[in-house]
Chain A
């Protein structure tokens, strides 16, 4: 409720988005009636168990799957008209996938991987953004070395690969980045590093994140506002502190109870 008071221009707005798979009696509602908006500069968390439809939403927003109903406005303009995806500004919206093992082409060198999104841009912008200095500054920022550029993805650890994927997402100077479980394939120790990097990058580059996760503590660490998804529906939405302090829905409570003692300690004084 607190969030409603501050009215900032939403960067992306989902209005009653729906996604159905199959036809006839074998119909599955992957997402139904999902509505939320993400404001400029915030990190919006989307949490839910596997199969709750959160990744389907990410696919719809990035143009991999079309919604069967509802509309999505990016910067006030509709992203989908029917089955047609409108790429309003190429490179303005980027995604970091869950599994850096499979999201990097094994036959491409790191330099080509990072520069790849630039090929969707007009040639003028491609030359500007693909300059050597920019590339080197970017890889240094995400924690890679210049001699990594000529290597292949299989020569890197999981955390390093995810840094490559982050650099690839940032090369086009996006305003909005979708993080689809960016740390769930990584070791716990590496997770913290990557999350901190994402936080710092957000501050430095004034990014807006849609952060998808099934991990409550990660969401709590990263996000300003959040929505809880269950069986394709958004069951609860609000600021992170609101939801963590007094969850309204039974499902949210179940999710919170999965958190180890760290959360418990914080809540107990209130009780």
Chain B
């Protein structure tokens, strides 16, 4: 233990990034996997000569081979290509939904905590209502009510993610409100909105960032879940959940069809969770000591 502390004080001066990675190899693995997925999806048109939605009945259900690395599906589309394009969608949607929910939740939570009183009561009871539902059931209900498409699925996931951020930001705000620099700003006559955006949110942001990185993996899974249930992206969009949804019926005959999208989904959400854990260790040293 003491030896470890000693070496850590020596290496800290070298390079913070490598120091962190050496201490947390799982986070490094997550970053590597994520970077690979990102590069593959960004350069998909260069890597694969197929088009994700081009139908080619002649080649249907071709097993993995040199031409089709992950095989083809029921209308002859190349599964590897569809996974690459699907990565753009899954990662993009996952990140966008969680960032959106984080931003909105932080603003609502800091307003709730800063003003207190009746506003606080109303906001927090609304959040309790959302939290009372199992998250997937609520997401399904919202998506089904608004109509099954990708935008509504995103909205549904954002709605179920917001209460966590509201609670986090509110708790931070309650302690920040008592800080002397906030009181000082009040005595200067600064408007509450400016105090919230300049003092409260910048000082309350680290737990929110931790939660965001932990939630992205979960959001990617939720997008795929809704897609799998037919409430998210609609075919022929190359979305992992929708691909698995069609593919699992063919699992026994054509094993590659649901397996590869499922594996991609597993890798992506796993990478984000590992990074999220790592970020939490960095930003919140109290948690692991």
Q: What is the interface of chain A, defined by CB distance below 8 A to chain B?
A: 62-64, 87, 90-91, 94-95, 97, 99, 102-108, 116-117, 119-120, 172
B203 touches A105 (CB 8 A): yes
Most A-side CB within 10 Å, residue of B179, B188, B199: B188
A105 to B133, CA, bound (A): 39
Tell which of B186, B190, B203 touches A107, judged by Cβ atoms closer than 8 Å: B203
Most B-side CB within 10 Å, residue of A87, A116, A172: A116
Chain B residues near A99: list those with CB within 8 A. Answer: 180
A97 to B186, CA, bound (A): 13
A63 to B180, CA, bound (A): 14
B187 touches A103 (CB 8 A): no
Residue tally, chain B, CB below 8 Å to A? 17
Can you list 16 A-B contacts with CB-CB less than 8 angstroms, sorted by A residue number?
A64-B186, A97-B180, A97-B184, A99-B180, A102-B179, A103-B180, A103-B184, A105-B199, A105-B202, A105-B203, A107-B202, A108-B202, A116-B188, A119-B188, A119-B190, A120-B191
A103 touches B181 (CB 8 A): yes
A120 touches B181 (CB 8 A): no
Q: In the complex, which residues 199-238 of chain B have their Cβ closer than 8 Å to any Cβ of chain A?
A: 199, 202-203
How far, in Å, is A24 (CB) from chain B's closest CB?
21
A102 to B182, CA, bound (A): 9
Tell which of A62, A102, A106, A120 touches B190, judged by Cβ atoms closer than 8 Å: A120
A95 to B203, CA, bound (A): 23
Chain A residues near B189: list those with CB within 8 A. Answer: 63, 87, 90-91, 117, 120
Chain A residues near B199: list those with CB within 8 A. Answer: 105, 108
Evaluate whether A95 and B194 lie within 8 angstroms (CB atoms) in the complex, with A90-B189, A105-B203, A120-B189 already known: no
B184 touches A119 (CB 8 A): no
A119 touches B194 (CB 8 A): yes
B32 contacts A by Cβ under 8 Å: no
- CB-nearest residue of chain B relative to A99? B180
